Structure 1
Amino acid sequence: MHRILIVEDDNEIGGWTERFLQQKGYDVEWRTSGDGLVEAAASKSLVLLDVMLPGLDGFTLGQRLKKEHPLLPIMMLSARTAIDDKLQGLQFADDYVTKPFHPDELAARIEVLLRRHEHNEPELISLQHLHIYPHQNRVVDQRTGEDIILTGKQHHIFAYMLRHANQILTKEQLYEGVWGEPYINGDKTLMVHIRYLREKIELDPSRPALIETIRGIGYRVKR
């Protein structure tokens, strides 16, 4: 399921947009400010970002967001219709929608961005002894040509790490990104899943080279 983050301080617009997109089958989170936006966006498929927000404006937030998550689609929402505002937004955003907008148009634009993003994902990722086919949810040991069978959660964890390759991910980010629920301090669920995942994909699970443990912080996959 695609996860959409709405950042909109207008309660009426934010409320009906959230309900409408939920009815379309999306997992939706609505925030009224940009506080913690970069962290929250790590687990999302797309961000709808208002320009006029309390604190930092949407242009500043969007630029920071794109720097940290360059593959994450961003759609600006704004009552500003001037061409200069649109050009400023489109320097980093993937789309710019002016208010008021029809919900069906919004849904159509979201679908286009999500499809475009999926098409930008590589067909094949080579990682040490692995060949990974993201669109097929396949992981192949290139030494033998045999598929490595992962559970659904193992696929989700590994795919999430690959989408954020070279980034150090905290346990909280990983858990919330994969399970879609708040991480509870001390919960061993993620650690257990990663241990079993390593047993399947690492050459030597006791000395993991694919999924690194960053002591005291979390994990990282290097590409």
Structure 2
Amino acid sequence: MKTKLLYIEDDREIASWVREDLQERGYEVVWLESGEGATEAAADCSLVILDVMLPGLDGFTVGQRLKKEHPAVPIVMLSARTSIDDKLHGLEFADDYVTKPFHPDELAARIEVQLRKAGTVVSSDAVLKMDHLLIYEQDNRIINEQTGEEIVLSGKQFHIFAYLLRHMGMIRTKEQIYEAVWNEPYLEGDKTLMVHIRHLREKLEINPANPVIIQTVRGVGYRVKKP
């Protein structure tokens, strides 16, 4: 059964691509162009995505009414308003506040975080949880669960991490990793892999100086620990 989202947005162009993107991610999306009927529609939805600038009642008013009627349903505000006052006003009742323009991956990640907090099953995709990371193996996405943000890796960083994940718990030598990723022989003394590992840790680890996800096995190579 698909997770149902209520999306309230009066801009049809924005609403069209956001709804299409969320549907492709496996959600069922109920779209309203104003706050009229929002309280009723939210009754069987797991989350509300709410624009601030709406015809009639503004998003702040609609959001306050929704939270009063359905306190357990998370609300993610969308707004071109970026002032701290607007954000604080929105966060008085909303669970998250996303400013426009936004990347669809960011919105999807924030939705997933709120659904998890609410105890809703968000996806049937295979998800590997590793400390603070959520790794969606089918669509090659990595989410920082603490912030809700997607971690974007470069091509080589992705291939290195994917290789280590395929051999999870196993020590891989520098030669094995290099030859698998670059498809050429490793030259002794080459620092290329070491530099890529350092940059990878800066993106993935909470404390890159004390890595727990990509571990160094001194004198041998690297491994990704088993969750």
1:53-202 alignment runs, 5 A limit: 53-118=54-119
Amino acid at match of 1:73: P
Consecutive unaligned residues of structure 1, counting only runs of 5 or more, are 120-223
1:151-209 Cα deviation digits (max 9, x unpaired):
xxxxxxxxxxxxxxxxxxxxxxxxxxxxxxxxxxxxxxxxxxxxxxxxxxxxxxxxxxx
* Whole-angstrom CA distance in 1 between matches of 2:92 and 2:36: 22
* Residue 38 (structure 2) pairs with residue 37 (structure 1): yes
* Whole-angstrom CA distance in 1 between matches of 2:89 and 2:30: 26
1:27-61 Cα deviation digits (max 9, x unpaired):
11111111111011001000000000000000000
* Whole-angstrom CA distance in 2 between matches of 1:52 and 1:59: 9
* Whole-angstrom CA distance in 1 between matches of 2:48 and 2:18: 13
Aligned length: 119
In structure 2, the partner of 1:125 is none
TM-score by length of 1: 0.53
SS in 1 for 2:67: helix
Amino acid at match of 1:39: E
Q: Higher Cα Rg: structure 1 or 2?
A: 2
* Whole-angstrom CA distance in 2 between matches of 1:109 and 1:85: 19
RMSD: 0.8
In structure 2, the partner of 1:153 is none
Amino acid at match of 2:5: I
1:98: Cα distance to partner? 0.2
* Residue 20 (structure 2) pairs with residue 12 (structure 1): no
* Whole-angstrom CA distance in 1 between matches of 2:62 and 2:73: 13
Consecutive unaligned residues of structure 2, counting only runs of 5 or more, are 121-227
Give the % identical residues.
69
* Whole-angstrom CA distance in 1 between matches of 2:44 and 2:6: 9
In structure 2, the partner of 1:48 is 49
In structure 2, the partner of 1:134 is none
